Amino acid sequence: MSINKNYAVFGLGRYGRAVAKELVDNGAEVIVVDSDSKTVEEFSGDFPICKCADVTEQEAIKRLGISNIDVVVIAITNSFETSVMATMLCKEAGVKQVIVKSSDELHRTILEKVGADMVVLPEKESGTRLAKNILSSGFIDIADISENISILELDIRKDWIGKSLRELELRKMHEINVIALTDRNGVSTTAQPDDIISEGMKVIVVADKNKIKKIK
C-alpha cells in the first residue's frame, strides 16, 4: 500500500469522510480540510490532522503545505466553483495527483480541463473504494467484470521502460492481459506485442486485482 505518500482530503461530507477514514485506517498520513469550523470541530476527533480553511484562497493552500502533498482528494459537495478553484490551486502548487468528486459528466469535463488528474462520480465510485484504489499504488480500478476480475489502469514499473510487450510477457509472468496503452497523447486501443513501453505510459489491463497488487 502507498502509505508512504502524503494525502489531503478537502471536504468533510459523507464522501470525504469515507475517503479520509479509509486512508487513516490504513496508516496513511492525511490532512483533512473543511471550510466550516463547526464541521471541523465535530470530526476533529476522528482524524489526527483536521484543519479549517478556505481552499479557494492561495494563501490558505500555502499555509496548509499542499505543495508537499502527493495526492489531494477534493470532495466538496456544495460548490462546483470551489472544486474548480481548489483544483487549479492544487495543480499550481505542484500536487502530482488531484482527484475530484463531480456531480455529473459536464462538470467532469470542466474539471479535467482545469487540471484534475481523475474525476469520480459518487454514484459510480464510493469514497471507501476510491481510497482503496489510491492506496493500491499502481492501479486504478476502472470497471469490475466479476468479483475479482477488473479492467485496471496500471502504472508501469521502471524496469519495463524500453521493453516491448512481447519481451515483458505480462500474461505469462503476472497473469495480466494488456488491452490498451496510454500516454500524454491519449489512449491506443490497438496494443501490439512489439509496442515499446516508454516513460510516462500506463497500461490498461484485464486482471485479478488480488494478484496485481503483488506487482511492485
Q: Where in the chain is the domain with CATH 3.30.70.1450?
A: 139-212
- Beta pairing class for 186-188 and 177-183: antiparallel
CA dist 206 and 80 (Å) reads 34
Give the C-alpha separation, 143 to 200, whole Å: 22
Cα–Cα distances in Å, from 101 out to 83, 121, 194? 8, 6, 38
Put residue 108 in one of left, alpha, beta given phi > 0 → left and psi -120 to 50 → alpha: alpha
pLDDT value for 146: 66
Q: What are the residues facing 29 on neighbouring strands? A: 6
- Predicted local distance difference test score (pLDDT) of residue 18: 92
- Residue written as grid cell 505518500: 5
- Architecture of the structural domain at 6-135: 3-Layer(aba) Sandwich (3.40)
What is the tens place of the pLDDT at every residue in 190-208?
A: 788 899 999 888 888 888 8
Looking at residue 88, what is its pLDDT? 95
Segment-wise mean pLDDT, segments of 10 residues, the chain, 216 residues: 78 93 90 96 94 96 96 90 94 93 86 88 66 62 65 82 91 85 74 88 81 63
DSSP string across 112-141: HHTT-SEEE-TTTS-HHHHHHHHHTSSEEE
User: What pLDDT score does 213 carry?
Assistant: 62
List where CATH 3.40.50.720 sits in the chain.
6-135
Q: E strands along the chain, which residues?
A: 6-10, 29-34, 49-52, 71-74, 97-101, 118-120, 139-144, 149-155, 177-183, 186-188, 202-208
Q: Residue 190 has what pLDDT?
A: 76
Q: What is the CATH architecture assignment of 139-212?
A: 2-Layer Sandwich (3.30)
